Amino acid sequence: MTQRTFPRSFVWGAATSSYQIEGGWNADGRGESIWDRFSHTPGKIEDGSTGDVACDHYHRWREDVALMQELGLQAYRFSIAWPRILPEGCGQVNQAGLDFYKRLVDALLEAGITPVVTLYHWDLPQTLEDAGGWPARSVAEIFVEYADLVSRELGDRVKHWITHNEPWVMAFLGYEKGSKAPGITDMAAALVASHHLLLAHGWAVPVLRQNSPGAEVGITVNLSPTDPASPSQYDADAARHFDGYMNRWFLDPLYGRGYPADMIADYQQDGYLPAEGMPFVQQGDLDVIATPTDFLGVNYYSRAVLRSDRVPEATNEPRTIPESDPAQQTDMGWEVYAPGLYNLLMRLHTDYQINKLYITENGASYSDGPNEKGVVRDMRRLHFLYDHFTAAHRAISAGVPLAGYFVWSLFDNFEWEQGYAQRFGIVWVDYTTQQRIPKESARWYSRVIASNAVSAELPTL
Ligand code: FCB
């Protein structure tokens, strides 16, 4: 059978994040994070659950690393829980927390798995939220102290650093929509938060480089290609705005273009930014944010199709992109759209000339569980991954410098405000027994990794 082979140095991995898998929420001196506070607040999490125990990875990391090795993962992207290291956000260091990550990193290296560390995957120490959270510039300064500490301790062994995971989600779902911790609904504050997240990133880059010689340093953003639902000017404008809100607001300043002028104008018109623009952007900030990095991490799940709500439906042109078919959606209600990954990678390559890209997350939530034989035949996930790997291969063939791929997620885990209702794992987790069962998608993924290739035809089992 014909194979689509990936470049020799291509890296295959899987990703998780601290709050979603670790549990041990108050073990060994860990401080409180905004996600502890949020999930412990009644009504915030759909199934009433918390990350208190999650996959209990804090206690089961040894067997989890063994499983990664058995699957043949070449790299593992995980995040560090800031309040496990600095329970108060800064100051007093919790040695037990540092030791946990040191042991984990050592075990990974021993297993031949490259650790890829995300410093911040949304679990801000609650004390720092109490001090103003990301809308406070001081929190960005404190992030750099945290980055300095962690990279001094782990920088000899960890050579791949991601400053932030998805600053769009942190800023806008955390501070504008309030669907995620800290649950604030204030768009003006969210815009300030987005700037401070980017600033913290830019300040941390040279610190990480200094403490971790030879390391690759980057940031991970979540991006969605935006397609207008019809060729009307209204939908085109809705797509422009959404693209600016989600994609360009982060990409433009990271790649030296400053914040997009059309978005500043939109936000001024809506009253979220004052007439003078962005007074919280100080002299030199934009240079800091544009500090060159070694790679961009991209999280891709789906595209966005934009239909204007500024005019009545009858005034707009008929849709040419239909509403997505529920049969083509994952359990999150997200459209399965692999061409979007190709389009996105091509755009990053041509519009931003990015030197190196990793897919740091891509995957799908489907609830398929073990059958009577204990086998999880998650064919929809397997096909989802197959289609997206194939799209990535196409982009590489077209010249995109894509260097690796991290499936989201290694485990079923705590999916934020959706609790345990959504299962993204290639490994099934039974939350009562903590048993792990690699799903058929994981078995198939192992073969992809081993051959560094996907087949030209849709795989069957
Ligand atoms: C991304 C997050 C990750 C997970 C997936 C489904 O936005 O980075 O933690 O929740 O979505």
pLDDT of 289: 99
408 CB near ligand 1 (under 6 Å): yes
Give the residue from 245, 249, 359, 383 showing the smallest Cα distance to 301: 359
The C-alpha atoms of residue 412 and residue 424 are separated, in whole angstroms, by 5
Is 153 designated active site?
no
Q: Is the pLDDT of residue 2 over 90?
A: no
The C-alpha atoms of residue 445 and residue 439 are separated, in whole angstroms, by 10
Mean of the pLDDT values across residues 164-176?
99
pLDDT of 391: 98
The pLDDT-based confidence of 459 (bands split at 50, 70, 90) is: confident
Which residues fall within 8 angstroms of residue 95, CB to CB, at 6 or more apart?
A: none
Mean of the pLDDT values across residues 402-421?
99
* Burial (0-12, 13-18, 19+ Cβ within 10 Å), 92: exposed
Query: pLDDT above 70 covers what percent of the chain?
Result: 100
Q: Is the pLDDT of residue 460 over 90?
A: no
Which of 32, 129, 166, 415 is the catalytic position? Answer: 166
pLDDT of 110: 98
Give the residue from 322, 402, 320 showing the smallest Cα distance to 357: 402
166 CB near ligand 1 (under 6 Å): yes
**Phi, psi at residue 418, to the nearest 5°?**
-95, 0
Is 166 designated active site?
yes
Q: Is the pLDDT of residue 201 over 80?
A: yes
SS (H, E, C) 80-120: CCHHHHCCCCCCCCCHHHHHHHHHHHHHHHHCCCEEEEEEE
**Phi, psi at residue 184, to the nearest 5°?**
-100, 145
19 CB near ligand 1 (under 6 Å): no
In tens, the pLDDT along 347-406 reads 999 999 999 999 999 999 999 999 999 999 999 999 999 999 999 999 999 999 999 999
Q: For the domain with range 3-455, which CATH number is right: 2.60.40.4070, 3.40.1030.10, 3.20.20.80, 3.10.450.350? A: 3.20.20.80
- Which atom of ligand 1 lies nearest, measured to the CA of 422? 6
pLDDT of 112: 98
- Ligand 1 centroid – CA 412 distance (Å): 12
In tens, the pLDDT along 323-342 reads 999 999 999 999 999 999 99
Q: Is the pLDDT of residue 1 over 70?
A: no
Mean of the pLDDT values across residues 272-292?
98
Q: Mean pLDDT, the chain, as a whole number? A: 98
- Which atom of ligand 1 lies nearest, measured to the CA of 415? 10
Model pTM?
0.98
Q: Is the pLDDT of residue 192 over 70?
A: yes
Positive or negative, the CA dihedral 268, 271, 272, 277 is positive
Residue 306: HSE in the Cβ half-sphere, 13 Å Cα cutoff: 24
In tens, the pLDDT along 132-144 reads 999 999 999 999 9
